[in-house]
Structure 1
Amino acid sequence: MKRIGSSRLQHLGSAIFTEVAEWRREAEARGLDIIDLGIGSPDRPPSQRVMDTLAAAVRNPTHYGYPSSEGSLAFRSAVARWYEYRFSVQLDPQREITTLMGSQDGLAHLAMAVADPGDVAIVPDPGYPIYSASLTLAGVKPYLLPLREENGFLPRLEQIPAETAAAARFILLNYPSNPLAAVADLDFFERLVEYARTHELLIVHDVAYSEMAFDGFRPRSVLEVPGAKQIAVEFHSLSKSFNMAGCRIAFMVGNEEAVGALRTLKSNIDYGVFSAVQEAGIVALEDQMAGSGWEVASVYERRRDLVVDGLRSFGWEVRKPKATMFIWAPIPPGWTSRQISREMLLSAGVVVIPGDAFGEQGEGYVRIALVQEEDRLKEAVSRIGRFLCENSQRSQ
């Protein structure tokens, strides 16, 4: 029998995630109580009104036919109203918005829709793994754009080789960022738009964490820059901001040609998001616009303070991020990212993700997800503190 399995599979995802799962099984076999701060999955449900809407919509017999692959006009219209409310950006729900089964769905398929095999795309390093994996699926060549702490984890656009910029079809960035918890201001987006216009690049911006910001910081949309809608698209998700990760609903907005291309591709792949979930998504967006008090940022801000202050008390100097559900922590001397992540899990029972899971530039860091209630986070910090004390000789 001939070999089964595409060679693409060898380049998808990260072997480190598989390793972390193996470490966890090893720790569980030792009888350890595991506190999982690895995967960024919200640990709370959506609002009661969202759940009630979903429950009622599930009982509607008209929702059991195939939904439109582009999403209902009602949901896309709600997205348009929300974008105007949140960013003062006007969008045409007919031509400039498409609904997705989670932002990863759209990110995984966009390169196939807007680029050809052999084309080049500029993606961040470190970056969310689907960014590079999507290029593998599409046969597109990645240019890995290094994001370094000394630059605030913002790219040095002027250092991208001229031949790369000329060959690239799009540049993909993510602020507020997973895994870096870095942020960008409007001045950066203005420079990005100017750069992209000069080099005829499509900007792809993943802004899934825009509603999870702290200390009064308000993340911006690249589409706020005048003229950006002509050359940019943006992905947003209800997974993080509204605790709807299991519902699988998101959207891409912006440049109508790119929106149309992704719609065309997906119309040949799937039939879209369950109509009941779209109704719940409308309520989630409308409740925020109505100022119903439903928001997750304050929850994660308290968790951030608890973890960062706790780690600092044990001598682990970690910066306080302005957004996201993650802490991107530089590891103490004497370790690699993978070593400290493994030993912390096997000794302390705390799961974190080694930074090199997100790219070569991630070595020297670990990502900590704030996805447990405060009592469990306090316990995790205490365990990490004991681990650091027990291994203090290694850092000297």
Structure 2
Amino acid sequence: MSKLPHIGTSIFTVMSQMALENNAINLSQGFPNFPVDERLTTILSGLAKENIHQYTPMSGLPSLLEKIANLTNHSYQRTVSPKEEILITAGATEGIFATIQALVKASEEVIILDPSYDCYEAPILLSNAKPIRVPLNNEFTPNWERINNAVNKKTKLIIINNPHNPTGKTWTENDFLQLEKLIDTYPNLIVLSDEDYEYITFEQKHISVHLRLKLWEKSIIISSFGKSFHITGWKIGYVIAPENLMREVKKVHQFLVFSVSSIAQHAINEYIDLVDVNQIGKFYKQKRDFFQSLLKETKLELFPCEGTYFQVASYKNISNESDVDFTKRLVTEFGVATIPISTFYANGNDNKCIRFCFAKDDETLIQATERLRKF
């Protein structure tokens, strides 16, 4: 008997497979198609012959933990303990899974804000806990009235995702003030802040939980080297949390993977000294602006993209089909793979919107939009 009877193959796998079968341009799954920084691949090549291929310590390579602490201090002026408050994980997904498994008990509740990334619900269900799906507003901003009504004494965790996948929205100062009020009202509530795209924001600087002193002792923050350094296939991220919470997360982590790829950690340990994280957002802003300029020549309506490398668009002026049917036809008839937004909702809410990934080289984006103009 299945523990997750309603969960099948993810929409990302489905659409990427359809793209392959139909020789379509894949703007669905969120990974770059341009080369990795040559400085990083050069470091990796050099390390391959060194004696660095055995287990690292469970929490991570000590020198890399130190550098993450320095990066956090530089980016957010927050001091964290490398030894006690940082954990290297097998991607952000493992960090999220380990956190939920470690902290959420049977019969407790976890708030998920929909549309939401698909890795949040499974570890909640596997904990015999209850996911509470709370819809965002139509413009994909937090609805604090709904959130406050959903939280009660059983609520253990609220998961926030900023910048937001799939919509590219970012939280405002007021959103964090509202979150802090919620924590004041429910002092046992813990925040799981998924900040995979923290260095990919555009007009407004990213507001991290790291910047909210009132939230530090109540929050676990998830980050991703895969997203920041364009190396999603390396599956390497990190978690920052106060020692009392991190102690519990590490207990689960050690029995999931124990430690993360040694050569990846060593490579990032050297590369992090060379890269300027402030340039990441500038790089993707050029991508966003270029892609948006191309899409304006189509019949799609674009939503604001404030962060991430995802662009949401409405196709309501083109078709009345469900977004799942529309995206499938988009692959088979027009040769472009995207993601239907309804799949990010528990109730399948269909607003006739689709998500594009624009972390692609310019030629790929040009070819894709040429096909989209044929509607």
Structure 2 residue aligned with 1:282: 269
One-letter code of the match for 1:352? T
Check conservation: 1:17, 1:357, Cα contact below 8 A. Answer: no
Picking from 15, 22, 26, the partner of 1:36 is: 26
Contact 1:212 1:296 in 2 (8 A): yes
For 2:152, what is the secondary structure of its paired residue?
Answer: helix
Structure 1 residues 373 and 60: CA distance shift in structure 2, 3 A: same
Which whole-Å CA distance do the structure 2 matches of 1:272 and 1:367 have between them? 34
Q: TM-score, normalised by structure 2?
A: 0.91
Which letter does structure 2 place at the counterpart of 1:36? Answer: N
Hey, what does 1:84 align to over in structure 2? 73
Unpaired runs of 5+ in structure 2?
none
Structure-1 separation of matches of 2:150 and 2:172: 28
2:314 — aligned with what? 330
Moved segments of 4+, more than 6 Å? none
Alignment partner of 2:364: what SS?
helix
CA contact (8 A) 1:47 1:294 kept: no
The alpha-carbon distance between structure 1 residues 358 and 85, as it changes in their structure 2 partners (threshold 3 A), is same
What is the deviation of 1:314? 2.4
Distance 1:284 1:361 in 2: 42
Query: Residue in 1 aligned with 2:86?
Result: 97
Q: Distance in 1 between matches of 2:86 and 2:25?
A: 39
Q: Does 1:301 align with 2:288?
A: no
Matches within 5 A, 1:206-285: 206-215=194-203, 217-285=204-272
Structure 1 unaligned blocks of 5 or more: 1-5, 389-396
Which AA in structure 2 matches 1:351? A
Is contact 1:154–1:184 with CA below 8 Å preserved after alignment?
A: yes
Matched residue, 1:134:
123
CA separation in 2, counterparts of 1:123 and 1:42? 27
Provide the aligned C-alpha RMSD in A: 2.1
Q: Distance in 2 between matches of 1:285 and 1:336?
A: 44
State the Cα deviation string for residues 216-272 of structure 1 (Å, max 9, x = none). x21121121123111111100011111121222111102222211110111123221
- What amino acid is aligned across from residue 206 of structure 1 in structure 2? D
Normalising by the residue count of structure 1, what TM-score does the alignment of the two structures yield? 0.87
Distance apart, 1:161 and its partner CA: 5.6
- Kindly provide the amino acid, as one letter, of the partner of residue 8 in structure 1: K
Q: Is 1:12 aligned with 2:2?
A: no
Aligned to 2:372: 384
Tell me: CA distance 1:65–1:379, structure 2 relative to 1, closer, same or farther (3 Å): closer
Q: Which amino acid aligns with 2:341?
A: G
Q: Partners in 2 of 1:21 and 1:249 — Cα distance?
A: 22
Q: Who is 2:41 aligned against?
A: 51
More helix by share: 1
TM-superposed CA distance for 1:343, in Å, is 1.2
